[in-house]
Amino acid sequence: MRPWKFALLTLAAGAGVFALALALGSDYVFFAGYVVLQFIVLATAWNILGGYCGYVNFGTAAFFAIGTYTTVALHKIGSNSGRYLSGTAGELLQPLFPLSVPTLVILSGVVAGLIGFGMGYLTLRLRGVFFAIATLAMAVVLQTLVINWDFVGGSRGAYIIRDESLPVAGFKLGYVHYLFLIMLLLAAVALSVARLIEGSRLGYGFATIRDDEMAAEAAGVPTLRLKLVATTISGALMGMAGAPYPYYIGYVEPAGTFGLQYAVNSIAMPMIGGTTSWAGPLIGAILLGSMQQIATVTISSAVNLLLVGVLLVVFVVIAPNGIIGLILDWQRTRGKP
């Protein structure tokens, strides 16, 4: 299948999901669905570096929070643009504010991508585990920065007041529906990007790094450049997933935004689904994401996080290639009598 056909197909599937959610007629579907879609984006983004290149990123929460806090900062500037934008440059920028959510998503993607690139440049020249440890430490440091940064609320957090609805072509679109649509589009973009990479020279380059970096280097694959491309794309997508979050939740504070659940989910979902193709993170995110939405309502949020951790450990020990691997194995054994 051609990449553009695949992109159209994901868009069509997205439209189908939106129509189905509308048909169910409950706003809760949109609230819960938003979180699942957000995890599809995060898991797919993680898998571009983790699954395709074999480099573990523990800093999903950090990249997600970069997007979230880019939105918070720009929203605050926008809500009081006369005060923060002064001088001639400020007057030129003023008419642009307040920024729309899609603009914020793109800007967050740029910021997170740049930080991903910087992190990668500093640590990817060494052994892969240093990158993993650095991303883990980066989450703690960014949290420290945000706690000490009063402009975005510090440790007290920041409130974002959103409109009830949004006029779109004469209709009144509920804001939750609007955010759901944006996340749906982001998920389609993330899956299309992952699929595009998979079938391209870039993807084959990534696979050589995953399988044997030394041999790839010796064969003339520009490993550092490819790893930096992967880190940048992956970081940018994570930042984009975080950008609409303040509007969704209404109140952000560092402890929640930097929560370990983002890191563990974005690792567990591809690992449980399968890391070598775009379908793995999608399957993992839909399964684990919906399971958590149900468990949060019926049991408790701490228990469902424990469940994610246990599933992650069980899958990496027993089924290293995830659900997709299990299906392939099953097909193979069924083929042979």
Partner 1 sequence: MSMPLDLLSNAIVAGLLLGGFYAAVTAGIAISFGMLDIVNIAHPAFIIMGSYLAYIINATTGLDPVAAAIVMLPVFYLLGVGIYQIYYAAFERRGQEALRGLAFFFGLLFITEVGLILAFGVDYRYVEARYIGPTWRIGFVDLPLRMLVPCGVSLLMVLGLQLFLAKSFIGRAIQAVAQDQQALQLLAADPIRIKRVAFGVSIATAALAGAFLIVIQPVEPSVGREYIGRAFAICVLGGMGSLPGTVIAAMLLGVVESFTATFYGPSWAPAVSFGVLLATLAVRPAGILGR
Please identify, using beta-carbon distances, which residue of 165 and 296 lies nearer to partner 1.
296
Provide the token pair at 83. Answer: 């005060």
Site of interaction with partner 1 (CB under 8 A): 50, 54, 56, 58, 122-123, 126, 128-130, 132-134, 136-138, 140-141, 143-145, 147-148, 260, 263-264, 267-268, 271, 275, 302-303, 305-306, 308-310, 312-313, 316-317, 320
Min dist CB 171 to partner 1, Å, is 43
Please tell me whether the peptide bond between 246 and the residue prior to it is cis, using omega within 30 degrees of 0.
no
Rounded Cα gap, residues 39 and 136, in angstroms: 19
Which lies closer to partner 1 via its Cβ, residue 10 or residue 223? 223
Distance CA 21, CA 15 (A): 10
State the minimum distance, in angstroms, from the CB of residue 198 to partner 1. 17
Closer by beta carbon to partner 1, 182 or else 324: 324
- Taking the complex as a whole, how short is the minimal distance between the CB of residue 157 and partner 1, in angstroms? 15
Residue 121 or 175 having the CB closest to partner 1: 121
Q: Residue for token digits 């999901």?
A: 17
What residues have CB less than 8 Å from 38, skipping those under 6 apart?
Answer: 183, 241, 245
Residue 122: CB minimum distance to partner 1, A:
6
Question: Min. distance of Cβ 264 from partner 1 in angstroms?
Answer: 5
Cβ contact 188:45 at 8 Å: no
Given the complex with partner 1, which of 52 and 245 has the nearer CB atom?
52
Nearer to partner 1, 189 or 198 (CB): 198
**What is the C-alpha to C-alpha distance for residues 8 and 5, in angstroms, rounded to an integer?**
5
Amino acid of residue 334: R
| Cβ count near 131 (within 10 Å) | 24
Smaller CB distance to partner 1: residue 188 or 324? 324
What is the DSSP code (8-state) at residue 80? T
CA–CA separation, 76 vs 202, rounded Å? 39
Tell me the closest approach of the beta carbon of residue 82 to partner 1, in angstroms. Answer: 31
- CB of residue 310 vs partner 1: minimum separation in angstroms? 6
Query: Which amino acid appears at position 219 of this protein?
Result: A
Select from 60, 73, 103 the least CA-distant residue to 257: 60
Q: What is the bridge-based pairing of β-strands 165-168 and 171-174? A: antiparallel
